[in-house]
Each structure stands twice: as C-alpha cells, then as structure tokens.
Amino acid sequence: MVAYVIRRLAYGVLVVFGVLFFLFVLFFWVATPDDIARRALGEKAPPAAIEQWKINHGYDRELWPWQSFEDNMLFAHYRSMLTLDFGRSDADDVPIIEKIAKGAGPSLALTVPLFLLGLVASVMLSLIVAVFRETYVDRMGVVLCVLGMSVSILLYIVGAQFLIAKLLRWFPISGFDPSPDVVARFLALPLLVGLVSSIGSNVRFYRTVFLEEVHRDFVRTARAKGCGEARIMVRHVLRNAMIPILTQIVIAIPFLFTGSLVLESFFGIPGLGALMVEAIQGNDFATLRAMVFVGSVLFVVAQVITDVSYSLADPRVRLE
Amino acid sequence: MSPLLEVEGLTTSFPGPNGDIPVVDEVSFSIDQGEVLALVGESGCGKSMTALSVMRLVPKPGRIRQGRILMNGRDVRQLSIPEIRHLRGHEIAMIFQEPMTSLNPVVTVGVQVVEAIQLHESINKARARERTIELFERIGIPDAADRFDVYPHQLSGGLKQRVMIAMALSTRPKLLIADEPTTALDVTIQAQILELLRELQRESEMSILLITHDLGVVNELADRVAVMYAGRIVEAGTRLELLGHPSHPYTQGLLRSNPALAQPGKPLPEIPGVVPPAEEWPEGCRFANRCARVLEICESEVPESLALTATQSTCCHAVARERQNA
Amino acid sequence: MEDWIISNIVTALLLAGFVGAAAAVRSSRIWTDAAASLWRRRPIALLVVSFYVAVAILDSILWVGGVDAGEDVVSAHEAKSVIDRLFLDARERSYSAPLADVEFYGAKPLAHPGSHPMGTDIIGRDVVYMALKGIRVALLIGGLTSLIAIPLSLLFGISAGYFGGRVDDFVFFIMSTLASMPGLLLLIALIMAMGRSTLSICIALAVTSWVGFCRLVRGETLKLREQDYVHAARVLGVSEFQIVMRHILPNLTHLVIITFVLTFSGLVLSEAVLAWLGVGVDGSWGQMIDQARSELSRDPVVWWNITAAGLALFGLLLAVNMVGDAIRDILDPRTLRESS
C-alpha cells in the first residue's frame, strides 16, 4: 500500500511538472511578457515603460533554456512555483501568497458547508427516488432534476437575490462579515443558491448509479432473505455504489479551497474565487498562474486519495 | 397430513409485443413436508419464474396474474409486506444459480449470513457469529472461523455456493428452493454439493423445490419430479415412475437423448425442432409441432391432466386416447 | 473574403451535412428505428430544438442590400440576415415595457406602440429580436466547440486505446495534466492568453472539455480492439488505419452522438458564466443576462430583458437535455457511466 501511494505521488509530481510547463507555455509564449505588460500599463504605453515593467516583474529574461541556460524564465518559473514563491500580483503588487492566505478562510466558510449539505441532500434524495423507481415519484424526481439542470446558475443567483433579498428581505443581498454571530446570515443565500443549482445534476447522477446496483443479483438474494427495501438501499446498494460516490467526493475537495468564482463575486464574499475574478478583470496573470498551480496540486493529491479510498471501499480493488 | 406447499393454477405473465405472455401457465403442484420435488425443463420453460413466483420475487414488469400459493395453508399472495418479509428467508429460503454474483461483493460472507439470521431472530451479534461458524463447519467450509471474515471474491465457486447454502439454512426454513444450484459449478464440485444437500435434507426433514435441467441431478436428489415445457407442466410423478416409464412424449424424448445412454456407432437421438418462442405459442398443446405422436386434436385443444396412477399424471391427448382404447 | 460570405458558405455546408446525415439514417435500419423511437418519445422537445436550429440557420443567411437607406447609411451597407430583416423597422429610442405604448421612462409615445411582446432594451432594440439573435450564438458555441473537441478526443482516445504502450502512456499523461487544472480557471486562463474572439473562446472550451470524452473513447477502443473481427482483419493483412476507420470508428458513433448532445448544454452554460465575467461571445444570452443584472435594482424594475434571455436559454437547454436523455436511452440501454 505504501509503495503504491509513493508511486502514485511520484506520478503526481510528474503531472505537476507537466502542469507548470503548460502554464509556462500559456502565459509566456502564447501570451508574451510584452502582451502582459501592455495589458497592465495600457495599449499606448511607451516601450521604455514596458521594458521597465518587465524588469520589475522579472519578465525581461530569455524564455527558454536553450537561449540562455543560466538565466532563463522557464527555470525561474519552475523554481518560484515549486518553492511557493509566487511573487507579487501584476495588478496591485501585493504578495500573492498573502492574498491566498487571506482568501482561503472565507472560501472554506462557504464551500465546506455547501459541500457537506449538498452531498447529504443529494444522496438521500437519490436513495428515495431509487426506492420508488418507476413510480410517479421517480418520474417527477427526474423531471425536476432535468428542469433544475437546465437553468443557469446566474439565473438562480439573480432570482434568489431579487426574490429573497430584495422582496422578502430575509437575508442580505451580498457582503460578508466573519464575526460568528452574523456570518451565517451572509452565507445563507449563497449556500441556498449553490445547493439548489447543483442538486439537479447530482441527484440524477447518483440515481443512475443506485439504479444500476439495484438490479444486481445480490440484491435479489437480499430480498429473498427477507430484507426490506429501505435496508436493501442503505446496506447493500449504497455500499456498492461507493466507488462513483467517492470519486465525486474527492474530486470536489480541491474546489473547496479554490472557492466558487460565481457565488463569491455575486455575493461579495472575499474568498479565493473573488480573488480570481479580480485577477481576470485586472489582467493579473501572475495571480492567475499561482491559483491554477495551487488548484492543480490539490487535484493531484485528491486523485491519489481517491485511488487509495477505492481500495478501502471495494475489497475487490487491488492496488498494483 | 396436508402438504407444506400447494400451488394451484399459478399464472405469471410478462407484457409482450402482442399482449401478456404467461411464462408460467396454470401451473399446479404440491410438496409435502420432508419431500424433494424436482421441477425439470429446458432453459426458458418457466421453471425459474415459477420458483420466484412462490416467493413473490417476480421481477418487474412481470406479475402473478392468477392462482393460489398455499404455504402451510396460508395464501402467499394475500400476505402483507411485513408478513412476506417474515416468510422470505425464514419459512422459505432460496439459493440461486450464480454464486459469483449472488453475494454482496463488498461485505464479508460471515456478515451476510449473520444478517440473514438477525433479520428473523433477536439474537446478539456474537451468538449469531458463533452459529454461522458452526454452520460453516457443518456445511464443509474449511477454516470456518477464518473464512467468516473473507470477501466473496476470495472464495472459489464451490465455496461460495456453500456459503449461500449456509445462509439459506441458517434460519432453519421449512422449504428450500434451489434454482439450478450446481449448474455453474465444476462437475466434481457438483457432486459434492448435491451430496451435501442430500445430507442436510435428511437431517432436518426440510422440503426442497429443486429447479434443474439436468436429469442426473434429478436422479441424485429428487423424490418426485414435475416436467415443464413452454410454461406448462406436462408430466409429474415419482422419480422411479418418471425416469423408469415416462408417458409424455417430451419426457420420453428427454430421457432418450441422454448422452449417458448413447450407443456407440448409432446417432444420438434428439427431439426434432426447437422450443417455440413465447410469442409464437400455438393453441392447443405446445409440444405438438415436435411430437412424434401428434394427433389432430393436439393442435386445437390443450390436453388436461390425466392421472395414470396414484402418483403419476400426464397432459397428453395421445396417452389419453391410448388409455381410452385399452 | 467578407464575413457574411463565409457565414453563408458554412451554412450551406451545414445544410448539406444535414441532408447527408438524413440519407445515411434512411439507409440503415438500426438508425431509422432509433430516429423513429426518438420522435415517438420526445416529439415536443424535438420540435423545440428544430425551431431553435431553424432560427439559427435563418440568422446565418446574410446578404447586403434591400434595405431602405433612410436614416442609417452605414447599416444599409451591412450584411443582414433573414432574422435581422424581420425586425428592421422595429427600433425605439430606449426602454419600454412589454406591449407598451409609451417609453418606460418619461412616457413618450413609441414609434411602434404595442408591437414589442417583450419590450425594448436600453437602446430601444426589440427584446424578442435580441433573444432570437442569441440562438445563433449559442448553437455556434456548442457546435464549433464540439467540432474541435470531438475529433481531438477521437484522435487521442483511439490512438491510446488501439496502439497502447508508449502512445497510451503519453496520452494518459496529457489527460492527467489537463484534468488536474480546475476547469473554469483553465478556461479563463486560456481566453486571457489567446484573446477574446469567438474562435479562441471555442478553442478554450474545447481544450477544457475534451478529456472526459477522450477517456470514454479510450475505454471503448480497448474493448473493441479485442473483438474477434478485429483480430480476423489483422490476420488478413488489413492495414491498421483501415481497421480503425472501418471497425473501430463506426462503433463509436453512438458515443459521439450521445456525448455531443449531453455536453452541449454544459458548453452553453459555461459561456454564460464567461459572459458574466466579461469574456463571453458578443450577442450571447449570457451577455444579455450580464447587462441586465443592473436593471433589476432599478425602481421600477426592468425585468423583461433578463426574463427573455433566461427563458430562451432555459428553453433550449431543457429541450436539448430531454432529447439527449432519450437519445442515450435509445442508443445505449445501459446508461453510460462516467469512467473514473
């Protein structure tokens, strides 16, 4: 097991190197340092200002190792990323690491409850729908899911803000205050919107998984033993559906940290998602680069955790 | 003494392109306490569906349309949901053909047997575990205590089937339905399992409804036999009667085509033609188009059950006519 | 070549493609049955989708001229589509409520009172017209992106599955790398780097969405490769390329169709989010929604813009989702599960 984990992590490191290379190509070759400088300073900036800006940000060197082995941007890029020395934001010169640290808290405050509630709700609803398969409860459920999936999250947000915040005035439209007594009020609406917008596709997915298991032979055996439908669902079907469920869970973990861009900006929550939106609108390539890197590392770790958890959930899975 | 299980006029049908198809068509039989009844027929004749119907486990979209299923005098079809759950696994237990897929792959075999016990008795886990291990030993699973914690995929086919048998018998049911219990196993294992079933049956006076297509299995285990063809029972009788002097042309054909009786140099006899698909079942006797003794009446009228002796009965116009003329 | 001429040519090619596909379906019993089954199950959704497609096509047939020069000399020389011409003479000066006779602010009488079922927007354009224009954009996004992503997935997936070994390792590595980057982030990064043209947005969407289908293709190819008829073909000396074209590719057709329809709505939704971030395609519903957001906080509320865009979006997606589900049920009875 340990050998397997080490091997997977090693492959993960390789993947991270690949990601860094991709980022380098994207941000220094497809979009050259000149482009970045011009976007930061304005299209009409004089060449001297552009050169100065590039020097300030360390973008004035040769790009590739074959152009200059000692001092090229590819190696510098790898070095700084891997040492988590993200430098300063292209837009406002604040150290990026600081920004990330500050934004992590509010992001987690939203994404963790959203994730947990969403998981519990989706799994429970799917189980119920699966128990009543092929009755009108099931059909209604599927219809509701498809309807829910066809509405853009933007519309959910606009609808929620308009109806609940403006008309009914139950919760504030946006904003964030981390003090424990009021923080729930600010999180209530984004939580609700996040839940409702994703429950449709989640329930549909889990329902498919459960229905596949429900038709298996061992379920028939359980029924012949005298198991009731509810018990069958929980003790037999759910246990066997763990692999796809686990995949969903672990894949969602990186997003807990990177936050939801859409929810955070609409609801004024100063998390990592909002940070990314700022970076986009301010053409802040440096921050964007750092965020993608962080997200990728988390993804790779999540992948390894997924594989390991598979073997725990399903005894037939042998880690090679 | 009244029979343990009495099935009268059972009809189970599935929706087909042109209306419902009765895959089990007015089937009647009975099993006494301590008796083994073999339900014999080719694949697709409806024998498995008959077994599932007895326990009300018919998969959708099939439904039991007609008939009475009396278990100890109570009609299974009228039972409420809690009552049928009590019946399943406790009064009637079932083992299936494919031990590979019939056990839950992510739960240890011991826990699955314990579940069967705890569903019907209030007994604590430790006691249930003890009972399971004892059962494993009795059933011939070596290293029973270790095997308790093993997962199904770690066991061979024969051992898996033994686990299924243990699970079925753990609640001391009065009737065991065994649906082709040895078909998926190697020949040598088959013999062992059959011997095990025979021993267990004798010990506990349990009745068995044995579903099979293999006449060898019938010979090993059955007290009485009923032969099914295209959803109907065509002949029934004791083992000696049916294997010794079958009266229905289909049963005769089956016995004749047994490779064990083959004579070197001569072609192996077979029943000409194929079983008609359910959508094309004719009026009258369904075996008519393959029968050597077919009469005109066979094509239009379904033959009624005719008692040949106290125990043997058959559904055949030719046999009936022969008796009349005698 | 002028943009509008290209648009006409592409539209003509598309129509030719439709005709060709219809002929292919007619000639094969399996596909004809599938099509008939689809029509039986979801007639309304199919009609809705056809309506959207028809509008998009009408909006892609452009020509210059035939416009009364009158007020706007510049626009008289622009290429206009069939849809444009239906709404040529429908401009107002500013906001007006649905079916109103007067302007929303100031109550000045309208040039065409009572003729705007969903009102007009901030510069007086009919909202129904704007929503209809968005159809072409949405279908373009879904269509062009799939046109890039699907061949890419097929190329990499079949190569990985069929040839295995180092090729498989390489493709797997690329897929892992791309899959490790959070989708929306990567999308935005690509667009920022490549620019905000429609083509680069579609390329970005394609890059972030081809991996899922590629995995599926790879899995299926692995299975297909072991089929007896493939072995037989190889023994007979048929070239690898021919085997792929004649045996592997046709057996992936149902996967292609299912994936195309099911991912279509996801692509359109993604573009809506991009539009709200400011990097969307011009004229899309996402852009309409983004622009309409501020209108909701006015008093009295201007609600018709966002409602029209939202309904148009919802209508298309719902219909596509329903058709997609039905197609999936028909073409592959065991519902496709995402391979992990």
Strand pairing class (B175-179; B92-95): parallel
Please give the average per-residue pLDDT across C284-301, as a whole number: 80
pLDDT top residue among B18 and C141? C141
- Say if residue C148 is in the same domain as residue C290: yes
A46: phi then psi, degrees, rounded to nearest 5: -70, 150
pLDDT top residue among B304 and C335? B304
Q: Is the pLDDT of residue C335 over 50?
A: no
Query: Which residues does chain A have within 8 Å of residue C318's beta carbon, measured at their own beta carbons?
Result: 146-147, 150
Summarised one tens digit per residue, pLDDT across range A166-185 is: 677 777 777 777 777 777 77
Query: Which residues does chain C have within 8 Å of residue A281's beta carbon, measured at their own beta carbons?
Result: 277-278
| pLDDT, position B233 | 92
| pLDDT, position A156 | 86
Query: Which residues does chain A have within 8 Å of residue C296's beta carbon, measured at their own beta carbons?
Result: 158, 161-162, 166
Percent of chain C clearing pLDDT 90 (strictly above): 12
| pLDDT, position A190 | 85
| pLDDT, position C68 | 65
| pLDDT, position B28 | 92
Q: Is residue C209 part of a domain?
A: yes
**pLDDT tier, B179 (very low <50, low <70, confident <90, very high otherwise):** very high
What's the whole-number average pLDDT of chain B? 88
List the single range of A94-98, B209-213, C206-210 with lowest mean pLDDT: A94-98
Nearby residues of A133 by Cβ (< 8 Å), 6 or more positions away? A211, A214
Task: Quickly list DSSP for B6-33.
Answer: EEEEEEEEEEETTEEEEEEEEEEEEE-T
| pLDDT, position B168 | 92
Cβ contact (<8 Å) for B90 and A226? yes
- Say if residue C295 is in the same domain as residue C240: yes
- Say if residue C248 is in the same domain as residue C163: yes
* Interface of chain B toward chain A, CB-CB under 8 angstroms: 55, 57, 59-60, 81, 85-90, 93-94, 96, 98, 101-107, 115-116, 119-120, 151, 153, 164, 167
Q: Is residue C175 part of a domain?
A: yes
Distance from CA of A84 to the nearest CA of C (A): 17
Cβ contact (<8 Å) for A226 and B89? yes
- Say if residue C107 is in the same domain as residue C181: no
- CATH classification at residue C219: 1.10.3720.10
Q: Which of C190, C273, C310 sits opposite A26 (nearest CB)?
A: C190
Kindly state whether A300 is in contact with chain C, defined as any CB-CB distance less than 8 angstroms: yes
Q: Which of B220, B141, B180, B171 is nearest to B40 (CA)?
A: B180
Do C and B share at least 3 CB pairs under 8 Å?
no
Q: Is residue C71 part of a domain?
A: no
Q: Is residue C216 part of a domain?
A: yes
CA pair distance A157, A145, nearest whole angstrom: 18
Cβ contact (<8 Å) for A152 and C313? yes
| pLDDT, position B114 | 94
- Say if residue C237 is in the same domain as residue C287: yes
Q: Is residue C85 part of a domain?
A: no
| pLDDT, position B92 | 93
Q: Is the pLDDT of residue A9 over 60?
A: yes
Summarised one tens digit per residue, pLDDT across range A243-281 is: 778 877 777 777 776 667 788 888 888 888 888 888 777
Kindly state whether A138 is in contact with chain B, defined as any CB-CB distance less than 8 angstroms: no
Summarised one tens digit per residue, pLDDT across range B44-86 is: 888 999 999 999 999 878 889 999 999 988 999 999 989 999 9
Opening angle at CA A278, ends A276 and A281, nearest 5: 110
| pLDDT, position C69 | 57
Distance from CA of A150 to the nearest CA of C (A): 5
The SS3 assignment for C135 reads: helix
| pLDDT, position C316 | 92
Is residue B110 within 8 A of residue B134, CB to CB? The reply is no
List the single range of A90-104, B85-99, C66-80, C245-259 with lowest mean pLDDT: C66-80
Cβ contact (<8 Å) for C180 and A300? yes
- Say if residue C107 is in the same domain as residue C152: no
Task: Quickly list DSSP for C6-18.
Answer: HHHHHHHHHHHHH
| pLDDT, position A219 | 92
Distance from CA of B189 to the nearest CA of A (A): 22
Q: Is the pLDDT of residue B178 over 90?
A: yes
Query: Which residues does chain A have within 8 Å of residue B120's beta carbon, measured at their own beta carbons?
Result: 226
Cβ contact (<8 Å) for C182 and A155? no
- Say if residue C146 is in the same domain as residue C117: no
Q: What is the interface size between A and B, counted as CB pairs within 8 Å?
A: 75
CA pair distance B25, B41, nearest whole angstrom: 14
Establish whether this prediction's ipTM goes over 0.90. Answer: no
Task: Quickly list DSSP for A230-255.
Answer: HHIIIIIIIHHTHHHHHHHHHHHHHH
Summarised one tens digit per residue, pLDDT across range A120-167 is: 999 999 988 888 887 888 888 888 998 888 888 888 888 888 777 667
- Say if residue C203 is in the same domain as residue C149: yes
| pLDDT, position C195 | 78
| pLDDT, position B295 | 84
Other beta carbons within 10 angstroms of residue B109's beta carbon come to 27
CA pair distance C62, C6, nearest whole angstrom: 10
- Say if residue C102 is in the same domain as residue C159: no
Query: Which residues does chain C have within 8 Å of residue A303's beta carbon, measured at their own beta carbons?
Result: 176, 180
Percent of chain B clearing pLDDT 90 (strictly above): 39
Alpha helical stretches, state H, B24-124: 47-54, 81-87, 99-102, 109-120
Summarised one tens digit per residue, pLDDT across range C48-77 is: 999 999 999 888 888 877 666 555 666 666
**pLDDT tier, C340 (very low <50, low <70, confident <90, very high otherwise):** very low
Strand pairing class (B224-229; B36-40): parallel
Residue C77's identity, in one-letter code, is: H
Interface test with A, best of B85, B121, B167 (most A CBs within 10 A): B85
CA pair distance C312, C306, nearest whole angstrom: 10
| Structural domain range at position C108 | 91-125
**pLDDT tier, C336 (very low <50, low <70, confident <90, very high otherwise):** very low
Q: Is residue C135 part of a domain?
A: no
pLDDT top residue among C285 and A64? C285
Cβ contact (<8 Å) for A16 and C180? yes
Residue C320's identity, in one-letter code, is: V
**pLDDT tier, A29 (very low <50, low <70, confident <90, very high otherwise):** confident
Query: Which residues does chain C have within 8 Å of residue A254's beta carbon, measured at their own beta carbons?
Result: 182
Cβ contact (<8 Å) for B164 and A221? yes
Cβ contact (<8 Å) for B89 and A316? no
Burial class (CB in 10 A: 0-12, 13-18, 19+), A82: middle
State the total domains in chain C. 2
Q: Which of A243, A254, A303 sits opposite C182 (nearest CB)?
A: A254
Query: Which residues does chain A have within 8 Å of residue C178's beta carbon, measured at their own beta carbons?
Result: 22
- A258 to chain C: nearest residue by CA? C182
- Say if residue C231 is in the same domain as residue C100: no
Exposure string for C122-160, b = 16+ CB within 10 A, e = fewer: eebbbbbbbbbbbbbbbbbbbbbbbebbbebbbebbbbb
| pLDDT, position C75 | 64
Residue A21's identity, in one-letter code, is: F
Please give the average per-residue pLDDT across C296-312, as a whole number: 82
Q: Is residue C79 part of a domain?
A: no
- Say if residue C258 is in the same domain as residue C178: yes
Interface test with C, best of A20, A150, A204 (most C CBs within 10 A): A150
Q: Is residue C17 part of a domain?
A: no
Other beta carbons within 10 angstroms of residue C73's beta carbon come to 8
Query: Which residues does chain A have within 8 Å of residue C208's beta carbon, measured at their own beta carbons?
Result: none
Distance from CA of A312 to the nearest CA of C (A): 16
- Say if residue C159 is in the same domain as residue C227: yes
Q: Which of B60, B90, B103 sits opposite A221 (nearest CB)?
A: B103
**pLDDT tier, C339 (very low <50, low <70, confident <90, very high otherwise):** very low
Summarised one tens digit per residue, pLDDT across range A53-92 is: 777 777 777 777 777 777 777 777 888 888 877 777 766 7
Query: Which residues does chain A have within 8 Å of residue B153's beta carbon, measured at their own beta carbons?
Result: 315-316
What radius of gyration do chain B's Cα atoms show?
Answer: 21
- pTM for the predicted model, two decimal places: 0.78
Q: Is the pLDDT of residue C78 over 60?
A: yes
| Tokens coding A76 | 């510098």
Distance from CA of A275 to the nearest CA of B (A): 44
Other beta carbons within 10 angstroms of residue A232's beta carbon come to 20
Q: Which of A134, A226, A316 sits opposite B86 (nearest CB)?
A: A226
